[in-house]
């Protein structure tokens, strides 16, 4: 096989409708600012892909393919998100530290010392997913607990939870 130093691509982008290129070819494409989209089977410029700053990489699908496959992508994202959420909730005990609520839909991670919103903003993740990923990356640091939305809200609005005042109810913390 003859080697060539001609700049890549030698063909126009439109002509380069490749099947999945071998790893070596993928690296070569990347060096030339190009990336293969496995969905439309086309080689495109990096600027044709979404860049995820949090993950430090470009999207697998090009922008037009992301639009076409929006609902499938959203479906996969939701599955991934709930898997991460479940891991975090389980790591912190999996139930409300105040009332013992077990149903996952009601649970959230609480900053024991407060300042949760500021912390989330500082991490640049108002949606909460970035916060979950941060907890995982930091190997589930102390200072957090699980509260249900009721117990969390009551503490936020009134500074206490009615459960704490009920006879026979012990706050486990």
Go through 17-53 and write b for each residue having 16 or more CB atoms within 10 A of its CB, e for each that does not: eeeeeeeeeeeebeeeebbbbeeeebbbeeebbeeee
Report if residue 39 touches Zn ion, rule: CB under 5 A. yes
Judged by CB under 5 A, which stretch of 12-20, 75-83, 100-108, 131-139 contacts Zn ion? 100-108
Cα angle value 76/146/107 (rounded, 5°): 50
Report if residue 95 touches Zn ion, rule: CB under 5 A. no
Judged by CB under 5 A, which stretch of 9-17, 70-78, 124-132, 141-149 contacts Zn ion? 141-149
CB of 124 to Zn ion, least distance (A): 28
Q: Which is nearer to Zn ion, 45 or 86 (CB)?
A: 45
| Nearest CA-CA partner of 91 in 45, 56, 140 | 140
Report if residue 161 touches Zn ion, rule: CB under 5 A. yes
Q: Is 40 helix (H, G, I), strand (E, B) or coil?
A: coil
Distance CA 20, CA 26 (A): 9
Report if residue 65 touches Zn ion, rule: CB under 5 A. yes
CB of 117 to Zn ion, least distance (A): 19
The residues binding Zn ion (CB under 5 A) are: 37, 39-40, 62, 65, 96, 98-99, 101, 148, 151, 161, 163
């Amino acid at each position: 096989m003859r080697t060539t130093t001609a700049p890549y691509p030698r063909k126009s982008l439109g002509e380069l409708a490749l099947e999945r290129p071998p790893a070596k070819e993928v690296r070569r494409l990347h060096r030339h600012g190009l990336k293969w989209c496995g969905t439309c089977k086309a080689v495109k410029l990096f600027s044709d892909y979404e860049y995820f700053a949090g993950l430090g990489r470009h999207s697998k699908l090009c922008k037009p393919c992301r639009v076409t496959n929006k609902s499938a992508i959203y479906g996969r994202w939701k599955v991934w998100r709930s898997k991460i959420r479940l891991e975090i909730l389980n790591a912190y005990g999996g139930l409300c530290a105040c009332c013992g609520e077990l149903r996952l839909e009601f649970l959230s991670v609480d900053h024991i010392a407060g300042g949760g919103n500021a912390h989330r903003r500082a991490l640049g993740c108002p949606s909460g997913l970035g916060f979950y990923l941060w907890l995982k990356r930091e190997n589930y640091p102390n200072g957090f607990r699980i509260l249900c939305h009721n117990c969390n809200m009551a503490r936020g609005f009134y500074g206490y939870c009615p459960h704490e005042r009920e006879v026979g109810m012990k706050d486990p913390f």
